[in-house]
Amino acid sequence: MATNLQTPGESVCPYLGLLKDPATSLTYPSAECYCHRTQPAAVPSFEQQLSSCLTEQYTSCRIYKAQTEHRMPEELEMKVKRRRKGRKKPFPLIILAVTLIYILIALIAYFQPDKQDDTLMASSPTMSTAPTSLAFSIITQRNAIATNSPTEAPSPSHQPKPSITPTEIHEGHYLETPFGKEQLFIVHHVSPGESLLFLATQYNTTPDIIKAVNYQLIVPIWVDSILIIPLDCIDLAGLPAFEAFQITENGLTLRELAEGLAIDVEALVDYNNIPADECLLNGEWVLIPRANNQ
């Protein structure tokens, strides 16, 4: 027989609770509400929650009155596809693989010309290995001598090629992607059935900290709203409240964004871990520090 881990309330079934925390139940219909009287624990349908589980009528529920544990009847159960918790995202592995490919191509391109030059010199000792521009300069000099104009010195046409400095690739801060410097954050899109307690448990923080770092947060949270969640954070440690800002054009820098919003560029650099003059990408998210909520 199931153990009643929760003190019965006046209007909520004592067997109703979260999957990992049977002693805690929500006061509104949710896919996170499980009936721990059944074996295994299952989610009652929204109709069952509204008509019985979340009302004083739960004592008349046939599951509540059953003498032994049994499976949730199909007509009372809501089919829930649980999202895999703690799933590791493949983005770091993909980025690492792409980086290794670029390094391999660069090494091949760096050593291949030397190998070709050695082969040409071995097969034809009289062939020049100078660049095409230098060969054109030699031809120009010969034509100048043939015109019998000794008073005019030929000018070389070869110009050195400018050195090319490789540019660092900015990866962009998108939804569900951790970023930051000393404290890591994610920008999260709220899905149906999620609550502050559920998200705090998933990302090892507390509901109060999530509320504190989100500027003017509306509670309870709404589906499809945007949340800023600090990862593995159990102490605010002076963190301000943030507002999530999405970039809608390419080429904008943090310095230009700070000037447009009249905020300190150094604070943007510290919390987003992006150089002040780094070009931002269209669609990525930036944390804008606002007034402290405390």
**3-class SS at 143?**
helix
Q: How far apart are CA 82 and CA 18, in angstroms?
A: 13
pLDDT, averaged across the chain: 78
Q: How far apart are CA 29 and CA 46, in angstroms?
A: 6
Residue 1 has pLDDT above 50, yes or no: no
What spatial distance separates the first Cα and last Cα of the chain, rounded to whole Å? 46
Mean pLDDT of 224-250: 92
| Amino acid of residue 123 | S
Residue 43: CA atoms inside 13 Å, Cβ hemisphere, count?
Answer: 16
The residue written with tokens 């000018």 in the block is: 155
**pLDDT band, residue 215 (cuts 50/70/90):** very high
Q: Are 51 and 39 in contact (CB under 8 A)?
A: no
**3-class SS at 198?**
helix
DSSP 25-87: --SS--TT-EETTSSS-BPBPHHHIIIIITSGGGGG-HHHH-SS--PPPGGGBPP--PPPTTP
DSSP 253: B
Which residue, among 92, 95, 78, has the nearest Cα to 41 in the 3D structure?
A: 78
| Amino acid of residue 208 | D
Which residue, among 66, 72, 5, 67, has the nearest Cα to 41 in the 3D structure?
A: 72
pLDDT digits (tens, 9 = 90+) for 149-183: 444 444 444 454 444 333 345 577 899 999 988 89
| Contacts for 231 with CB less than 8 Å, ≥ 6 apart | 178, 183, 184, 185, 186, 203, 204, 205
**pLDDT band, residue 288 (cuts 50/70/90):** very high
Percent of the chain with pLDDT over 90: 39
